[in-house]
Amino acid sequence: MTSTLVFCCGGLVALGAVVGPPSEPPAAPKPPAVAPVKPVEAVPSVSESPSESPTPSAAPTTVAPPPPVQITVAPPPVQTTDAPPPPPPAGVYYANCAAVRAAGKAPLHSWEPGYRLGLDRDHDGVACE
C-alpha cells in the first residue's frame, strides 16, 4: 500500500500510510532525446558590378491619371423665419387699439405706419383685430 500526497493549503498532506518497504526503487529520469544538428552552409553573396546594368524586358508604359472627381456642394438651406417688423415711421404712434380704431386704421398690419408688437396680441402681423 502506498501513500497518496495531496497539495493543500500551502503544503503536502499524506492521505494514507506506507506499510513495508517500497517494492521498487524509483527509476532515474531519462535525458531528453536530442536530434543531431546539421551545420549551416554559407550562402554565396550576390554583387553587381557597375558595368552590368539591368535591361528592361518591355517598353515603358504610360499610365493615365484617374479622372478628377467633381464634388457638388448644395447651398445651405434658406431659413424662413419671420423677420421682425420694420420700425414704424417717425410721428405715427398709437397708445392702444382704441386709438387705432378711433383713427379708423383698425386692423393695423405690420407694414403699415403705427404697427408695433405691443398692439399685436397673437404676434401674427395684424394688430387690433
- How long, in residues, is the chain? 129
Distance of CA 120 to the CA centre of its chain: 50
pLDDT at 67: 85
- Whether 1 has a pLDDT exceeding 90, the answer reads no
pLDDT digits (tens, 9 = 90+) for 7-63: 555 555 555 555 555 566 666 777 777 777 777 776 666 655 555 555 556 667 788
Q: What is the pTM of this model?
A: 0.32
Place of cell 553573396: 45
